[in-house]
Amino acid sequence: MREWQKEQKALLEEIDRACRQPFLNKIIGVPSINPLRAAALMLAFTDEDRKNANVQKQITAAVLIQLALDTHDMIPSVTEEMTQKNQLIVLAGDYFSGMYYRTLAEAGCIHWVGILAGAVKKVNEAKTSLHRHKLESEEAIFRAVQTIEGDIIGSVYAKNEADEAVGHAARQLLAADRLFREKEQPFIVFHALEHVLGNEQHVIGAIEQQLEQIRLNINECIKNIDSYSAAVIQVERDRLFSTPLRLVEEG
């Protein structure tokens, strides 16, 4: 696991360099790169593949396009005017999107744009549905969360013909991470649930119930995947759900 952590840290530093834009950082803050997303993408590749510089760029690109989509979420869905800050948020999202294309071009993998295009479209549609309160049940809202957090990664797993059980577990972890964040700091998912369920307490109850179901789903996935991937998933599961971390042998 120490080798995995070292590799993950190096990848996150590379992603940070790709995202760095001092002017935008000064105006809207330094972008937050989710280490869990990087780990989920790393698991889609073999140990040998991850040493390849072009593969590292593919992973970086997948993080960048998700960051571009998430940055545009920072713009209020209802606003009478486009303020300077909102214009800069649009610019930041466009910048990350441009870095996505540039990174894939540098890797000679511009065809990945087509591979991820369907997922990007679905993510945008799901976010629009949440913003506009078009979803009429908590089940539909939680499916939208799975789409938003998992579809881009799912496309990477499908392209690589990677273990679907590992991919499913990784997507479940990302959905759980989003729900924990929404519970602590309500955003579009929380507000969509509130629109359907009526009050905050019902929303918190629904989120907690969904988180428990996700935890059980992850536990089932762990039974069916290789020991190395299982170790990574278990560490991330334990971190998210605040249970004691298991001591994992380096392997």
DSSP 30: P
Tokens 């278990």: give the residue.
Answer: 234
Tell me the pLDDT band of 171, cut-offs 50, 70 and 90: very high
Cα–Cα distance measured from residue 4 to residue 2, given in angstroms and rounded to the nearest whole number:
5
Cα–Cα distance list, 201 to 56, 131, 141, 195, 204 (Å): 42, 21, 17, 12, 5
Cα–Cα distance measured from residue 61 to residue 110, given in angstroms and rounded to the nearest whole number:
10
Helix (H) or strand (E) holding 238: helix 227-241
Longest dimension (CA), the chain: 56
DSSP 58: H
Virtual torsion, Cα 87, 90, 96, 99, nearest 10 deg: -80
Q: Does residue 246 surpass a pLDDT of 50?
A: no
User: Could you give the count of Cα atoms lying within 13 Å of 129 in the half-sphere of its Cβ?
Assistant: 21
pLDDT confidence of residue 81: 59
The domain made up of 2-241 has a fold known as: Farnesyl Diphosphate Synthase (1.10.600)
pLDDT confidence of residue 53: 93
pLDDT confidence of residue 175: 98
Cα–Cα distance measured from residue 179 to residue 196, given in angstroms and rounded to the nearest whole number:
16
Tell me the pLDDT band of 83, cut-offs 50, 70 and 90: confident
Q: At what angle do helices 53-72 and 138-160 cross, to 10 degrees?
A: 160
Q: How does pLDDT run across 24-70, given as a tens digit for each residue? A: 787 778 888 899 999 999 999 999 999 999 999 999 999 999 999 99
Q: How does pLDDT run across 114-150, given as a tens digit for each residue? A: 999 999 999 999 999 999 999 999 999 999 999 999 9
